[in-house]
Structure 1
């Protein structure tokens, strides 16, 4: 996960926290968190990067709507990141 951008890590966390979210649901969650608009030109290429890295799988609901799910590797990466962060955060 060290080679991901902060935005890509945030995408992973959102996907992990939702049940098979589609792109616009992910976009809505991030816009709420960042308090600004996330453009499609930023969102979808980063989602594709996560798919290419094997952290996320992309499925198709219909011809216009894709959904995203975590892979086992993606889940392991999030768990490892959480463990790493915990060693630096005060109890």
Structure 2
């Protein structure tokens, strides 16, 4: 098995993170989702930020994933700032 480096490509709410993960999965990219609040809850600690997640992908898949992530981020910004 080769060593793989993962990089963070998105941070945001659970709903937006899941939307991006689903889009990545449709093109065969398996993302890793890190949820600090859930990890803290499972360990018996609290977390001041609930439902905030980070998405990581393999550096090898970044070229394939970048357009998908950028498109999703643009859509999110458009929803936040409707004209």
Please state which band the TM-score falls in when normalised by the shorter chain.
Answer: 0.3 to 0.5
Taking structure 1 as the reference length, the TM-score comes to 0.31
Between Structure 1 and Structure 2, whose CA radius of gyration is higher? 2
Question: Could you state the TM-score of these two structures normalised by the residue count of structure 2?
Answer: 0.33
Flag the structure with more relative contact order, 1 or 2, with Cα contacts below 8 A and sequence separation at least 6.
Answer: 2
Higher strand share: 2
The structure whose residues are more often helix, as a share, is 1
